[in-house]
Structure 1
Amino acid sequence: MGAHRCWIEVVDPNTSELVAVRWTDIINLNIDLSLYLAADSFDCTLRNDLLLSEYLRKEQEISFWIGSVANPNQWGKEELTHVFTGKIDGVRPFFGDQMTVQLVGRDYSSRLIDTEFSVAFAERTASQIAILLAKKHDLAYEVVPTEVVIEKDLYKDRKEWAILQELADREGYVCYVKKDKVLYFGPRKDNDDTIIAELNYRQKERSNVLSIQFDDSLVGVINYVIVRHWSGKKKGLIVGEAKNQDLIEAYGEKKRVVYDPKAKTKELADQIAAKKLKEWSRTVVTGEQIRVASSPLMEPEKMVSVKGCGRFDSNYYIEKVHHTFSKTSGFFTEVNVTSERPDSAAQYRKDLYNYEERKM
C-alpha cells in the first residue's frame, strides 16, 4: 500500500503564490465532505515552533492532498489525491509544553452560505442568477441554461446559498462547489452512477473495510396513501389513493390519510397520493461508520460496492465522508452510505441530510 502522506498548501496573500507546509510540521488533519446544503469543512493541527501562526490568516486559501506514496523518503504531491480547497476560518495557536496551531475552515460554498442576497435579480433566470453569484465570489462555473424568469419574492432577505438550492430544486438540478473552485448548477451527472470503489469485508487479500454497521428499518415506511379534500360550497368529498401492493403483501398494510387543498379533482388527488407514496414507501438501507484504510477518492453521492456482508452486499451511494490523517495512526476514511438515490435534490436533503434541521 505504501506510506501515508499529506500535503498542505496555502496561498500567500501578498504574492498569490502557493506555499507548501513542511511535512515535518504536519501533525494531523480531519476533512468532512457533506451533501449540498452545508459546506465541506476541515481542521488540521501543525507544529508552531517556527511561529507559523504569524503567517497564517483568516480567509487565506488552503488546499489538501492525501494518499499513499511508494517511497516515504522521496515523494511529492503529484502522487497524492487533491481532496479539498477552501478558506481558513480560524487560526488557534497553543503555547504550552508543545507549540501548535490549529486551523479550521470550509470550502468555497461557505461564502454563499454566509452572504445575504444583496443584488437585484430582476428579469433573470435561475441559471443567470447562478452565473452572477459565481462571478461575484470569483468562482469558475459550470451552469446548464434555464429559461423561466424567477420572481423577486423568492430571494428576498435570504442567504445566497439557500436561494441557489431552491432554484436548483425548481429546475430538478443540483448545485454545489467543486474542490477546484467551480460552481456546478445543473442536472446530476451520469458518471455519479459509476462505482468508484469496492468495500470488501473479510474478503481475504481484498479486504479493506475495518467495520460497518447497517440499518434496515421499516420505521416511518407507508405503503398505502389516501388523499382527501372537501370541495365547493356543498363540501363534496374528493378522494384519491395509491398503494404499494408488494410492500403490503410482505409487511402488512401501513396506511396514512392526508388532507390536501390542491386535490381539487379525483385525478389530482390520485397524482398527489402517488407522489407521496413514492416518497414514503421507500425501504432504504443505510450503512454507517464504514471505516476504510486510506481512500481519498471517496466523495458524497458517488457509488461504492459492498461485498462480504451477506444480504447487504449491494451498490450504495455515499452520503458523507470523513477523512482523518495523523502521523501516529495513519490515514483512514469513514463513510455513510444509502441504498437509494431519491429523485429530487429537495427530497435528497430532506431525507438524508436533515434539511429541516439545517435551514438557514
Structure 2
Amino acid sequence: MEVAGQIVLPDDIYECDIDLTLYMAASSFDIIINNSDLKSDWFQKKQQVKVYYGYVADPSNWSINDLEHVFTGKTDGVQPQWGGQQGNVVELVGRDYSGQMIDTYNSYAFTNWTSSEIANYFAKKYGLTPLITPTTSVVPSDAYQNLQEWDVLQTCAVREGFICYVTKDLELYFGPRQYSGNPVATISMASISETAASGDGLSFDDSAVGVYNKVTVIHYYKGQTIEGSAQNDQLIQSMGGQVVEKIMTDSKATTPALANQLAQNYLTQYSREAITGNLQNLPGNTAYVIDALVQVTDAGRFSGKYYIEEVKFQYGKQNGFVTETLAVTNILPDYAYQYKTDLYGDSGETNIESELDDDWEAS
C-alpha cells in the first residue's frame, strides 16, 4: 500500500480490509499497521491511500508494479494503540473519493444546468478526471437543493438512466452502465464444498420476503378517494396464486390515471424477485469488481451468472490475501437506489426514489 506516496511494506501490515460497494455508498478501508517506529506521527487525516493486492512468484524479489491497484481513498481517522494483542499498532480508516461529497451538502444553485454540467462541476471541484456523457435536459431545483453532493450526482444519474461512481484512478464516471457480459471468474460449488472450512462457502437466498406482486396507490384529494392498482400476474402465479399486496399513499396521485401509473412504477421496484448469494473466504482475486459477472457452477438450479454487488478483500498475516465476502445477485438493478436496498435494507424513501416519482408523474 501507499500512504501519501510512501510505500508501506507488507511486513508492517497486520491487516488490510477493503470493502468495495456500489454507487450509493463509499467504498472503504480499514488497515492495521505496525507502529513500533511511531508511524502514527506521520499519518494524518485526509492523506491519500492506495491499496494493491496480488501474488508474486518470488517474495524476496518483487515491486509494487507486480501487484494490482484496487483502491484509492483518503484517511478519515488515525487511531494508534499501545500494548494490545498485536503490540503497538496504528489503525487507518477511510473511504474512497466519493466520501468527501457524501460529507458535504450542496450550496450551489444549478439554475438551468443539465445533469452532465453538474457532474463536470463536481469533477472540477474535487480534481477528478471527468468521464462524463453529455446530456441535454435541464435539472429541476429539487434535484440539488438541500442535498448532499453525492446525492445530487446520484439523483442526476437516475434521471438520465446512468450510473455514477469514482474510480480507483480518480475519475468521475457519469454515464451508461458498461460491462461485457462475460464472466470474470467461474466459482464451482463442488470445489468449495470439498475445501471449505467452517463458515466458508456460498449461501443463496431465494426468498419472497419483501416481494409484492400487487401495489395499490391511494390519495385523498379534494374530498375524493383517488385509487389505482397494478399487479404482476406472472409473479402471482409463481407464488402459488397468492396475491401479496402493498398499499401506499402518494400525494402525486391526483387522478386515477396517475394513481395507476404510480402503482405500476412502484410495482417495478417492489416485485424484484432476485436471488442473492453471499460467498465467504475465497482466494483473493482482483478480477472481482463491482458490476462484473461471475459464473456459478455445480449448484443445481442456483447455477448461473451473477452480478457482483459487494466485495470485501482482506490481507492478513495468517491467511494472506483472501476475498472475505462476495455478495452477488442474479438481477441487475435498474437504479442505484435498488443496490442500496439490496445491500442495506429499505430504510425509507430517498431523494432518488422521490425524484423517480417526479419523473414518472411527468412522463
Q: Give TM-score scaled by structure 1 length.
A: 0.85
Asked if 1:302 is matched to 2:292, the reply is yes
* TM-superposed deviation, 1:208: 8.7
- When residues 357 and 227 of structure 1 are mapped into structure 2, their CA distance, relative to the original with a 3 A threshold, is closer
| Greater mean alpha carbon deviation, residues 200-209 or residues 341-350 | 200-209
Contact 1:67 1:295 in 2 (8 A): yes
Change beyond 3 A, Cα 1:26–1:238: closer
Does residue 196 (structure 1) correspond to residue 184 (structure 2)? The answer is: yes
Is the contact made by 1:224 and 1:241 (CA closer than 8 Å) also made in structure 2? yes
CA distance in 1, matches of 2:58, 2:193: 22
Aligned positions, number: 345
% identical aligned pairs: 39
Q: Aligned equivalents of 2:107 and 2:219: distance in 1?
A: 41
Deviation for aligned residue 1:94: 2.0
The verdict on how the C-alpha distance between 1:122 and 1:197 changes in structure 2, with shifts beyond 3 A counting, is same
Q: Which runs of structure 2 are paired with 1:131-170 in the superposition (5 Å)?
A: 131-170=120-159
Counterpart in 1 of 2:17?
A: 30
- The CA RMSD measured in Å over matched residues stands at 2.9
Letter in 2 for 1:135: K
5+ long unaligned stretches in structure 1:
1-7, 12-17
CA deviation digits over 1:322-355, x for unaligned, max 9?
A: 1111122211111111111122233333344436
Q: Look up the equivalent residue of 2:329 and give its one-letter code.
A: T
| Residue 271 (structure 1) shift | 3.8
Contact 2:109–2:145 under 8 Å retained in 1? no
> Is residue 91–residue 103 contact of structure 1 (8 Å, CA) maintained in 2?
yes
Contact 1:201 1:208 in 2 (8 A): no
Partners in 1 of 2:50 and 2:334 — Cα distance?
Answer: 33
Q: What is the deviation of 1:153?
A: 3.9
Partner residue in 1 for 2:48: 61
Aligned to 2:58: 71
CA distance, structure 2, for counterparts of residue 232 and residue 156 of structure 1:
29
Change (3 A) 1:124 1:250: closer
Cα deviation, 1:54-113, whole Å, max 9, x if unaligned, reads: 221111111010111111221122222111111111112222272221111111101111
Partner of 1:20: 7
Question: For structure 1, which segment, 146-155 or 110-119, has the greater mean C-alpha deviation from structure 2 after superposition?
Answer: 146-155
Counterpart Cα distance in 2 of 1:289 and 1:195: 16
* Structure 1 position 179, deviation (Å): 0.9
> 1:125 and 1:307, CA in 2 relative to 1: closer, same or farther beyond 3 A?
same
Q: CA deviation at 1:20?
A: 1.0
Quickly say closer, same or farther: Cα 1:153–1:215, change in 2 above 3 A: closer
In the alignment, residue 131 of structure 1 is paired with which amino acid? Answer: N
Does 2:212 correspond to 1:219? no
Distance in 2, matches of 1:157 and 1:310, equals 49
Q: 1:5: which partner in 2?
A: none
In the alignment, is residue 43 of structure 1 matched against residue 30 of structure 2? yes
Report how far residue 174 of structure 1 moved.
Answer: 1.2
Cα distance 1:266–1:162, how it changes in 2: closer, same or farther (>3 A)? closer
Deviation at 1:9, TM superposition (A): 1.0
Which whole-Å deviations, capped at 9, do the CAs of 1:125-161 have from their partners, x for residues lacking one?
1111111111111111111111122233432232111
CA contact (8 A) 2:218 2:225 kept: no
Give the whole-Å Cα distance in 1 for the aligned partners of 2:292 and 2:341.
19
Tell me which of 278, 283, 301 is aligned to 2:273. Answer: 283
Counting only pairs closer than 5 Å after superposition, residues 1-360 of structure 1 correspond to structure 2 as: 8-11=1-4, 18-96=5-83, 98-191=87-180, 193-203=181-191, 210-226=200-216, 235=224, 239-245=228-234, 247-248=236-237, 251-256=240-245, 257-258=247-248, 262=252, 268-333=258-323, 334-354=325-345, 356=347
1:226 offset after TM fit, Å?
4.8
Task: Kindly provide the CA deviation profile for residues 1-57 of structure 1, in whole angstroms up to 9, marking residues without a partner as x.
Answer: xxxxxxx1122xxxxxx2211332222111111111111111111112222122211
The 1-side partners of 2:137 and 2:221 are apart by: 32
Displacement, 1:230?
7.4
